């Protein structure tokens, strides 16, 4: 006896359907497709053979999922979202193996969005309605437009935007952000008719010994920098010219900071996930680091970062 619902006007040829999943009218599921539990497959959805769908997935009306697509748990796919699996299609010509397109856990795809073949949409990312996604999307990113561009990050709404209002900074020029250990620091400035000067005293304004520095510049507006955390290294960021936005994340809280003043520094302690984006034209970002470059100190996978922060929390 089936433990899922299939509308009498749907065609479900697969036996690999999870419990309590609902398949509605005029949907067609091919024999080798896999659909998890508690899913909602709406009217006029077509699911090809080499498709794997996780649990608690919603696929709204008019969506086609082609060979090579993997949809993880808790994903939402809006009406008429379009996927493709061949960048150079020809009639009656088929690839030996279709590129893997993966929609990771908790992501949402807006109505009428288009996802090109072979891309990964990161966990909890949000793709806006009508967006044309031409490149893989990192976790938690919000993508809009054609071509799709990252316009923000989930969890960094207006209430999470860090500012430098005087009432938020203490007598030492330090503002503690919501993200664990991360601080904004006002640097002393001198201004007169000859121009401006910003002083930066190591181990006073920069709360660690500096062993390395580098400068980031010439970044196109659409590009994303960072997307990693460090196990032991501290970093201190100052935007010397122009502006950029920095997302900081401790695994529980995510917050966004705009660096638009060379008299403002951002201290990121170890185990802080950092992303820099929305660089203005001509922006120059100075980064001071407590340690020499060590590739083993980098955590470049956000899922691994979350796992490590959870273990730290459990140990404490």
pLDDT digits (tens, 9 = 90+) for 77-103: 999 999 999 999 999 999 999 999 999
Catalytically active residues are 228
pLDDT digits (tens, 9 = 90+) for 108-125: 999 999 999 999 999 999
37-64: pLDDT as tens digits: 999 999 999 999 999 999 999 999 999 9
Instruction: Please report the pLDDT score of residue 162 as a whole number.
Output: 58
Q: Whole domain around residue 134: which residue ranges?
A: 1-88+97-154
* Residues with Cβ within 8 Å of residue 67, at least 6 apart in sequence: 48, 49, 50, 51, 85, 98
- Same domain for 232 and 84, yes or no, is no
Q: Decide: 240 and 260 in contact? Cβ < 8 Å.
A: no
Look up the CATH number of the domain holding residue 120: 2.160.10.10
Measured distance CA(266)–CA(182) in Å, rounded: 7
Same domain, 220 and 255: yes
Q: What are 224-244's pLDDT values in tens digits?
A: 999 999 999 999 999 999 999
Beta strands in 145-261 (DSSP E): 149-153, 161-162, 174-176, 183-186, 189-192, 195-198, 212-217, 225-230, 235-241, 244-249, 254-259
pTM of the model: 0.89
107 and 127 co-located in one domain: yes
Burial of 296 (0-12, 13-18, 19+ CB in 10 A): exposed
213 and 263 assigned to the same domain: yes
Cβ–Cβ under 8 Å, residues 233 and 145: no
Q: How far apart are CA 157 and CA 178, in angstroms?
A: 13
Which two three-digit tokens encode residue 13? 């040829």
């Amino acid at each position: 006896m089936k433990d899922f619902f299939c509308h009498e006007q749907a065609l479900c040829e697969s036996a690999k359907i999870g419990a309590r999943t609902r398949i509605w009218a005029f949907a067609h599921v091919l024999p080798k497709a896999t659909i998890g539990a508690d899913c909602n497959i709406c009217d006029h959805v077509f699911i090809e053979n080499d498709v794997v769908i996780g649990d608690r997935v919603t696929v709204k009306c008019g969506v086609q999922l082609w060979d090579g697509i993997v949809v993880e748990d808790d994903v939402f796919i809006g009406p008429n979202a379009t996927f493709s699996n061949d960048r150079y299609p020809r009639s009656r010509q088929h690839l030996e193996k279709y590129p893997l397109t993966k929609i990771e856990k908790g992501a949402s795809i807006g109505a009428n969005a288009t996802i090109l073949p072979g891309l990964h949409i990161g966990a909890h990312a949000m793709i806006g309605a009508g967006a044309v996604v031409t490149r893989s999307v990192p976790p938690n990113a919000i993508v809009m437009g054609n071509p799709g561009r990252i316009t923000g990050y989930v969890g960094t709404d207006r209430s999470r935007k860090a500012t430098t209002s005087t009432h938020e900074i203490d007598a030492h020029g330090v503002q503690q952000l919501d993200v664990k250990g991360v601080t904004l620091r006002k640097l002393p400035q001198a201004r007169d008719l000859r121009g401006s000067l910003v002083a930066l005293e190591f181990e006073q304004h920069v709360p660690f010994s500096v062993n390395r520095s580098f400068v980031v510049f010439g970044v196109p507006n659409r590009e994303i920098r960072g997307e990693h955390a460090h196990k032991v290294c501290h970093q201190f960021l100052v935007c010397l010219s122009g502006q950029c936005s920095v997302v900081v994340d401790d695994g529980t809280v995510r917050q966004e900071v705009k660096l638009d003043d060379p008299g403002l520094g951002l201290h990121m302690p170890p185990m802080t996930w950092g992303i820099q984006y929305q660089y203005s034209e001509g922006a120059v970002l100075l980064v001071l680091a407590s340690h020499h470059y060590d590739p083993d100190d980098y955590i470049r996978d956000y899922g691994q970062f979350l796992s490590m922060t959870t273990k730290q929390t459990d140990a404490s």
